[in-house]
Amino acid sequence: MNNKGQAAVMDALFFMMICSVAATLLFYVSSIYGQSIDQQVSAIYNFEYTGNALIALQGADNYDFWNELKKKVLNKGGSEAKKHIKDNINIWDTLEKSSPSNINFLCFQGTGCEDEFCYPAKVDGKEESSYSIGNYVAYTSSVDIGSGCQAIMKVYY
């Protein structure tokens, strides 16, 4: 009789162990449910934002802002281009207010650019290159503005 009692206790312990593992697995799965979908939707939104931000910049004020900015980037260099953005700061402010991130850079890079630079020069005291090295996720979109020169919208999280 004693052996049957021990067997019943062991069966109950195994059953409790299986139930506790199943319950733990169920709690784990329910805690991460939907996270990957949320991350994918967030990534798609951020990619769309960077592309649409460049489109909005190109269409601002009947192309006057963008065309003048292109001329200054290609022919006069970064200081003139930065001054042009500062003179039309309401366009940049609107772009930043609509951004899902508070770390936004508009960079001009390539062999066809007079100077390679980013606007603004710093965010929170850090240059754009320090965000690239850190633990940030970057979403970018670019458009060619001249032969070998690109305007790149960069958003960091």
> So what's the pLDDT on residue 153?
92
User: What's the pLDDT tens digit per position in 142-152?
Assistant: 889 888 899 99
Beta bridge partners of 106: 119, 153
User: What's the pLDDT tens digit per position in 49-100?
Assistant: 888 888 888 876 667 888 889 999 998 888 899 999 999 888 888 888 888 8
The verdict on 1 and 54 lying in the same domain is: no
The verdict on 100 and 144 lying in the same domain is: yes
DSSP secondary structure letters along 80-94: HHHHHHHHTHHHHHH
The verdict on 95 and 29 lying in the same domain is: no
The verdict on 29 and 46 lying in the same domain is: no
Residue 4, pLDDT > 70, answer yes
The verdict on 59 and 88 lying in the same domain is: yes
The verdict on 7 and 43 lying in the same domain is: no
The verdict on 60 and 87 lying in the same domain is: yes
What is the band of 135 on the pLDDT scale with cuts at 50, 70, 90? confident
Q: What is the pTM of this model?
A: 0.73
Domain range for 77 is 34-156
Total structural domains within the chain? 2
Q: Which among 115, 132, 114 is positioned nearest to 123, based on CA atoms? A: 132
The verdict on 147 and 88 lying in the same domain is: yes
> So what's the pLDDT on residue 1?
53
* Spatial distance between the Cα atoms of 62 and 42, rounded to a whole number of angstroms: 31
**Does the N-terminal peptide bond of residue 120 adopt cis geometry, omega within 30 degrees of 0?**
yes
Contact at 8 Å (CB) between 56 and 147? no
Burial of 73 (0-12, 13-18, 19+ CB in 10 A): buried
The verdict on 24 and 40 lying in the same domain is: no
The verdict on 42 and 105 lying in the same domain is: yes
> So what's the pLDDT on residue 26?
92
> So what's the pLDDT on residue 82?
92
Measured over all CA atoms, what is the biggest interatomic distance in the chain, rounded to whole angstroms?
Answer: 98
Higher pLDDT, 34 or 119: 119
